[in-house]
Amino acid sequence: QVQLVQSGAEVKKPGASVKVSCKGSGYTFTGYQMHWVRQAPGQGLEWMGMINPGGGRINYAQRFQGRFFVTSDTSTSTLYMELSSLSSEDTAVYYCARAHCSGAGCYQFQYWGQGTLVTVSS
């Protein structure tokens, strides 16, 4: 069965960077777009960016451009996200999600990781 297992919780100081991993199993890793979505405490979902591990296509939400990067390691079926210049506003649960692709597109997320809490505090 499809599983996405994320790395554990992180506590970072303002100005630091954080890197979160997401290991996929139970499917062909290079065959599906992977996305990152975050959720601040008590708030809604926010799309951050995506990567196509099989083809290298990458897109980032405008508000994160320049400090958010997504990479993938196909040899280990692992997705990574790195967010730099952290502030308290970046405190959130970060989810990786695998897109469900139809003939029309890949803008829906059928499988999700368990989430990784990143806390930014001095």
Partner 1 sequence: QSALSQPASVSGSPGQSITISCTGTSSDVGGYDHVSWYQQHPGKAPKLIIFEVINRPSGISNRFSGSKSGNTASLTISGLQADDEADYYCSSFTVSSTLVIFGGGTKLTVL
Asked whether position 60 contacts partner 1 by CB under 8 A, the answer is yes
Tokens at 99, concatenated: 């897109």
Q: Nearer Cβ to partner 1, position 54 or 115?
A: 115
Closest-CA residue to 39 (of 48, 31, 30): 48
Two tokens at 24?
């996929």
3-state secondary structure of 72: strand
Q: Which stretch binds partner 1 (CB under 8 A): 15-23, 66-74, 77-85, 98-106?
A: 98-106
Give yes or no for a contact between 18 and 12, defined as CB atoms under 8 angstroms apart: yes
Q: Which is nearer to partner 1, 15 or 57 (CB)?
A: 57
By CB under 8 A, the residues from 67 to 96 that bind partner 1 are 95
- Residue 95 near residue 39, CB atoms below 8 Å: yes
Q: How many residues bind partner 1 (CB under 8 A)?
A: 26
| 35 contributes a contact to partner 1 by CB under 8 A | yes
Give the range of 11-19, 44-52, 67-75, 76-84 binding partner 1 by CB under 8 A.
Answer: 44-52
Return the ∠ at Cα 120 (arms to 42 and 122), rounded to 5°: 130
Q: Which residues bind partner 1 (CB under 8 A)?
A: 35, 37, 44-47, 50, 59-63, 65, 95, 100, 102, 104-105, 107-110, 112-115
